[in-house]
A and B are shown apart, each in its own frame.
Chain A
């Protein structure tokens, strides 16, 4: 299966920091694989996710592959506040049409699709952000603890939607969650970062 991300003995040290956040990291992610990032707060989980997304560049080592189409759920929803829910989704996927409708219904967002993003609750915004990440038909889905605001029932709906599309299209999943009960792939491989 094709390689989406390949880091070879990579280090990442932020400017002004005395110690590197990531050190001597070698990691390969192939199509369809899942990976869970674990470790205490400040261990560098988000930093690795950002490296995969191409938002950070390693200070040493080499990146042989970077994924092309990325669906990312940041820790924040990062929606355009003045744009409606559908507007936000069409911004990244102008021809999403029926697929968008289905996903909005599946996550119980049918009633708010015309509302501006700034009027959404945190959990609603996070669901919209998830749909946005899925609508771009990603090669890889990056989830950074985006689901803190969801009640258990809604969380299950979100998880089922991700699993369904993961099974259909076979994108890779890299997820971060502090809560072991809230993993899309609970029994998948895990990478522990930090001390």
Chain B
């Protein structure tokens, strides 16, 4: 009966279904929390209180959240700055691409925790380690996305541009960028969420002050309500990033 629903109502109904799913999850959670110790599974109310404490705590923003976000962003930026030119060169010269393939396969094949441990082992363990680890993990993503995006350029339009001597700027804007974005947009979406995940992981493993270290501290002190609150903050961050990116992607689409 999908067809009977007027199009304007569809997003509302979807949202209602989302809300119902969320409510069900919270109810299940509240019920399970009653059967367990707070240190094992705190209830929704306790977590809400811990969350309120957390977001009101200036030190948390200053010493944990912002540094972690900064490292994730720096790693992401570095991966993009290195991966994009490599993708461009590899697309232009298949030999270079073949030459880079082994390194890329290793970087993509090694599980993230192993890569994090190696980075901690080889570098000083401080913030730089986290940036490098994020970069190492995301560099191949950007390399591949740029190469794929460039391959998606419509050769007929590229010829048209040559015949009519289109200036590079207009070529970039109307022929190259739309093709590039088809691969780069989704890659960026995945990469941003992963940048945060990996920097958390590396912080957690290295004990560098930040969100990851907060998670570890909450766990070792059995502050499970705080742990849950942290997880909610992280979920919200990733959700925000994804929403922002899909909004950008939506606006770019014709």
Contacts and interface: CB of A to CB of B under 8 A. Distances in A.
Nearest to B254: A82
Given A74-B156, A91-B170, A116-B254, A80 B175 contact: yes
A74 B160 CA distance: 8
Interface residues of A, number: 18
Contacts, number: 35
Interface in B141-175: 156-157, 159-160, 162-164, 166, 170, 174-175
B88 to A, nearest CB: 22
Instruction: Please classify how large the interface on chain B is, using the bins under 10, 10 to 19, 20 to 34, 35 or more.
Output: 10 to 19
Nearest to A135: B164
B178 interface: yes
A54 B164 contact: no
A70 B254 contact: no
Interface in B189-235: none
Nearest to B178: A82
Given A74-B156, A78-B157, A132 B163 contact: no
A140 to B, nearest CB: 11
A55 B175 contact: no
B164 A92 contact: yes
A55 B164 contact: no
B103 to A, nearest CB: 31
Given A53-B163, A91-B166, A92-B164, A83 B156 contact: no
Contact of B164 (A76, A81, A82, A136): A136
A91 B170 CA distance: 7
Given A72-B163, A91-B174, A78 B254 contact: no
A116 B162 CA distance: 22
A92 B161 CA distance: 9
Contacts of B157: 78, 80
B163 A54 contact: yes
A130 to B, nearest CB: 13
A82 B157 CA distance: 13
Interface string A86-122: 0000011000000000000000000000001010000
B179 to A, nearest CB: 11
B66 to A, nearest CB: 38
A32 to B, nearest CB: 21
A81 B253 CA distance: 11
Interface string A52-85: 0111000000000000001010101010111100
Contacts of A76: 156
A118 B159 CA distance: 18
Contacts of A74: 156, 159-160
A92 B162 CA distance: 11
B164 A132 contact: yes
Contacts of A72: 160, 163-164
Given A54-B162, A83-B174, 6 more contacts: A55-B159, A70-B163, A80-B175, A82-B178, A91-B166, A118-B254
18 contacts: A53-B163, A54-B163, A55-B159, A55-B162, A70-B164, A72-B160, A72-B163, A72-B164, A74-B156, A74-B160, A76-B156, A81-B254, A83-B174, A91-B166, A92-B164, A118-B254, A132-B164, A136-B164
